[in-house]
Structure 1
Amino acid sequence: MKPFYRPDYRIVRLWTKFWIRSGGLNPFGRFAMRMAALFTAPHKSRVRLAYLADSGYIAPSVIVDHDELTLGRHVFIDDGCILFKRQGTGKMVLADEVKVFRQVFMETGTGGSLFIDEKASIHPRCQINAFHSSIHIGKHVMLAPYCCLYSYNHGVKPGMLIVDQPLESKGPIVIGDGAWLGVGVIVTSGVTIGENAVVGAGSLVTRDIPPDSIAAGNPATVIKKRQDIPA
């Protein structure tokens, strides 16, 4: 397979800067984003485009159906992502330099809100649903692919179909600054994961994880402290 074609670097730079400054969520803005990315390889190669304009880079294929969305400076949102507000009120805020990679689904609804702080990165196919309580993802947090955060659960009382039961929540989800969640981690409502904590791949987090801890398992439990690891 031939490498991705790039014409003269100076021409590409001028072309990209011209179009990226007109980017946005309206039809022309989406067209401008498509033009800006024309000579840049896909996926992570396009992160740099977000730094060429305060409005960042939002891939043309991104679906946004959210009237309480706030985007900071230099935000990157990759192909196939969905940002959705289902019903009622529910703010969604992506702060400066947040990176959201391919096919991430983020949703808010009644009583819920989502705040992703500066320089956090959400990797492919994560799902983040904030209903009835908030979800706060701190600065420099990394969510590996396929992580799922739900600030609610379905009622399971007998004598009624689960689909007909009201949603329930034990409280907000808070992911502290600098934490790292491995591939496929699931976090349930009412959980706080402390600053700089690490959660192993495939873990189910149902209770709080202290700062600077390494946790894993189903349910996730602390297996060591980061300061116990030799430098």
Structure 2
Amino acid sequence: MKKLRYYICLGLYYMVARHLPGSDTPYSLGSKKIRGFLCKRIFKSTGSNVNIEHGVYFASGRDIEIGNNSGLGLNCRVNGPLKIGDDVMIGPDVMIFTQNHKHDRLDIPMRLQTDPKKPVIIEDDVWIAARVIVLPGVTIHKGAIVGAGAVVTKDVPEYAIVGGNPAKVIKYRDGRKV
């Protein structure tokens, strides 16, 4: 019965809720609550006051955890295993990947050479701006800010502000020197 409920909620999300207006529009028709209701039944765990915006794609969602007061911005594309802490802001068009392709064997097409999944962890009070790409196995530590368009290839320290491709520390929110 639980499995059936999961598939019904997943189907309703992808057929209907994903296409409802963004929560900041005057005609949102309760779309934030509808998407939140469905994701609570799809994700591994879901905190309170979660905002899943219009167009978010999360595959099966089974190995995604999202904390209190956190959200996924317009048209985000995320894969699990993914753990998002509390008070996390994720902007529009962010992509979070947890798996990549290998390319070391010439006798097997690259499309068939996949690495095992590597979890992405986003700790509490993180802001990920628009169009950021986060690669497999990365941890973005507490209080960090990732600037728009950054490509995060390695862990981001606590309270760091990073940007660029690949993302590098620009400065620290707590006054530390780079």
The normalised TM-score by structure 2 is: 0.76
CA distance in 1, matches of 2:31, 2:92: 21
Aligned to 1:196: 143
CA distance in 2, matches of 1:116, 1:26: 17
Query: Structure 1 residues 228 and 116 mapped into 2: Cα distance closer, same or farther (>3 Å)?
Result: same
CA distance in 1, matches of 2:60, 2:10: 22
Aligned to 2:45: 93
CA distance in 2, matches of 1:125, 1:25: 19
Contact 1:154–1:165 (Cα < 8 Å) also in 2: yes
Aligned to 1:87: none
Aligned to 1:58: 35
**Out of 31, 38, 43, which is 2:22 matched to?**
43
Counterparts of 1:1-231 in structure 2 under 5 Å? 25=9, 42-44=21-23, 45=26, 49=30, 56-58=33-35, 71=40, 92-108=44-60, 113-130=63-80, 134-159=81-106, 160-169=108-117, 171-228=118-175
CA distance in 1, matches of 2:46, 2:156: 24
Contact 2:97–2:135 (Cα < 8 Å) also in 1: yes
The number of equivalent residue pairs is: 161
CA distance in 2, matches of 1:141, 1:46: 25
Gaps of 5+ in 1: 1-23, 35-40, 65-69, 73-82, 84-90
In proportion to residue count, which structure has more strand?
Answer: 1
Give 1:141 shift.
0.5
* Aligned-partner SS, 2:59: strand
* Aligned-partner SS, 1:71: helix
* Aligned-partner SS, 1:136: strand
CA distance in 2, matches of 1:105, 1:26: 11
Give 1:168 shift.
2.9
Give 1:152 shift.
1.1
Letter matched to residue 110 of structure 2: I
Letter matched to residue 102 of structure 1: H
Query: Structure 1 residues 194 and 46 mapped into 2: Cα distance closer, same or farther (>3 Å)?
Result: farther
Query: Structure 1 residues 47 and 214 mapped into 2: Cα distance closer, same or farther (>3 Å)?
Result: farther
Gaps of 5+ in 2: 1-7
Query: Structure 1 residues 223 and 199 mapped into 2: Cα distance closer, same or farther (>3 Å)?
Result: same
RMSD, aligned CA: 3.4
